[in-house]
Structure 1
Amino acid sequence: MNAVVVAVCLMLLLAVLRVHVVLALFIGALAGGLLSGMGLEGTMVAFQEGLGAGAKIALSYALLGAFAMAVAHSGLPNLLAQWMLGHLRSSDGTGARKRAFTRWAMLAGICAMAVMSQNLIPVHIAFIPLLIPPLLVVMNNLRLDRRAVACALTFGLVTTYMFLPIGFGKIFLTDILLGNIAKAGMDVSGINVMSAMAIPAAGMVVGLLLAVFVTYRKPREYRDVAVDTGAAGGTNTGGVAGAA
């Protein structure tokens, strides 16, 4: 069996078994190198060279994480959540219509933020721990299915850098994808990467529409529990899934 396939399958198995992701990556790489006949020394050298090639990306993610923590401790996400919750509670006879509008607006806003995080405001995934935890209580109040929120986040994050060669998409499509294909000896001069990735991107669009308008459209009940948001307010009310 192909050593790369074995290494990837082993890494995925360890991840499912809740082994730390860094340890799972190392064990998978070690197994793949040994199965390919590189030997222990050759495997370690290749592993270190691979880490060096990704140092630029790793540094970017570290800086984004620091930025996320700084904004979280400022308390701005909590202020946004409290404003939205107060706006919902102040609604009177038009409450049902207003809640429906707010539910769809929140999904659209989260998806738009995920898209912009890849290019216009290049913070990548750093906005998730800033924005989502304080909004959990608002989602509970709206009876919004969090699985729909997860689908909106996934679509905005993945499809953008998978299809558009801008911002983080340029790093993935040009530096990583086409770069590794070129290193393997293939000619990439005539490849239109957007055309090549249009099929999986279209699949992501179909999946988002099915998730939001069909599978997870119905309201879902959640229990409010105190959670630590890590922000300047200390705790907020989030929730775990109750009966659907």
Structure 2
Amino acid sequence: MNAVVAAVAIMLVLSLCRIHVVVALIIGAVSGGLIAGMSLEATIEAFNNGLGGGATVALSYATLGAFAVAIGKSGLAHALADKALALVGRQEEGAAVNGIRFLIIGLLLAIAISSQNILPIHIAFIPLVVPPLLYVMAKLNMDRRLVACVLTFGLITPYMFLPVGFGGIYLNEILIAKINANGVDASGLSVMKAMALPALGMLCGLLIAVFFSYRNGRTYNLETITKAERVDTSYS
């Protein structure tokens, strides 16, 4: 059997058995090397060389599941959704409800930014935090396109502008490292200054989405929320 095919097959089987993806990847790679007739030392060396300069990124992304599970088990998303729904039930349509809309937008933005630079979980928070809020956002007539714009800004802009967390990996260990590897002296380059213009463009896009494009909201039929979403929210 081809060693590569065997390694991929082993990794897939272990993943289907709910073995952590990092463990499945390592076992599959080592198994493939041994099947190919390589020694254990040569297999490990080949594995390390294959990861190369992106090892930090690969392993960081691979461990996101552990953070995601911790957030899900905390019940924070459901508590937030229940609190927001209670506030909606006590308020009349108008300025108070608009305040709740902006509160949800602000919280989602803060979580998205934190997922890049403070608690490095990247996009793993989305399926844990957003689904419990879908029913609340429908009750508030919040345009989901606005939510998508807020999440996109929070996930991308800090990543490409702030040299902290995943931003530090991207700017220092990937961008600057590749520039230096191609023979360009980047010792005096300020990455934040270089990325300020695209980050400003992202900010302008966010402001336009919040205050102009999707300001008026959108009406959703609550009956169209899927059964899975209703079960997940726990308050329907």
Q: TM-score, normalised by structure 1?
A: 0.69
Residue 204 of structure 1 pairs with residue 198 of structure 2: no
| Contact 1:64 1:123 survives alignment (8 Å) | yes
| Aligned partner letter, 2:55 | A
Structure 2 counterpart of 1:143: 141
Q: CA RMSD in A?
A: 2.5
Residue 228 of structure 1 aligns to a residue whose secondary structure is helix
Q: Deviation at 1:228?
A: 2.9
Percent sequence identity over aligned pairs: 49
Residue 193 of structure 1 pairs with residue 211 of structure 2: no
| Aligned partner letter, 2:108 | I
Structure 2 counterpart of 1:236: 233
Structure 1 counterpart of 2:63: 63
Residue 77 of structure 1 pairs with residue 77 of structure 2: yes
- For residues 74 and 176 of structure 1, the distance between their equivalents in structure 2, rounded to whole angstroms, comes to 34
Cα shift readout 1:136-177 (whole Å, capped 9, x = no counterpart): 111001101111111111111111111111111110000010
- For residues 70 and 90 of structure 2, the distance between their equivalents in structure 1, rounded to whole angstroms, comes to 32
Q: 1:114 to 1:235 in 2, by over 3 A?
A: closer
User: Structure 1: which 5+ runs fail to align?
Assistant: 1-47, 239-244
Q: Deviation at 1:120?
A: 2.3
Q: 1:166 to 1:70 in 2, by over 3 A?
A: closer
- For residues 78 and 49 of structure 1, the distance between their equivalents in structure 2, rounded to whole angstroms, comes to 43
Which structure carries more helix by proportion?
2
| Contact 2:131 2:232 survives alignment (8 Å) | no
Structure 2 counterpart of 1:88: 88
- For residues 59 and 140 of structure 2, the distance between their equivalents in structure 1, rounded to whole angstroms, comes to 38
- For residues 149 and 50 of structure 2, the distance between their equivalents in structure 1, rounded to whole angstroms, comes to 31
Q: Deviation at 1:54?
A: 2.4
- For residues 184 and 97 of structure 2, the distance between their equivalents in structure 1, rounded to whole angstroms, comes to 53
| Aligned partner letter, 2:87 | H
Structure 2 counterpart of 1:174: 172
| Aligned partner letter, 1:209 | L
Residue 55 of structure 1 aligns to a residue whose secondary structure is helix
| Aligned partner letter, 1:211 | A
Q: 1:166 to 1:235 in 2, by over 3 A?
A: closer
Q: Deviation at 1:62?
A: 2.1
Cα shift readout 1:174-193 (whole Å, capped 9, x = no counterpart): 00101111111111111111
1:131 to 129, 132, 142: 129
Residue 233 of structure 2 aligns to a residue whose secondary structure is strand
| Contact 2:133 2:233 survives alignment (8 Å) | no
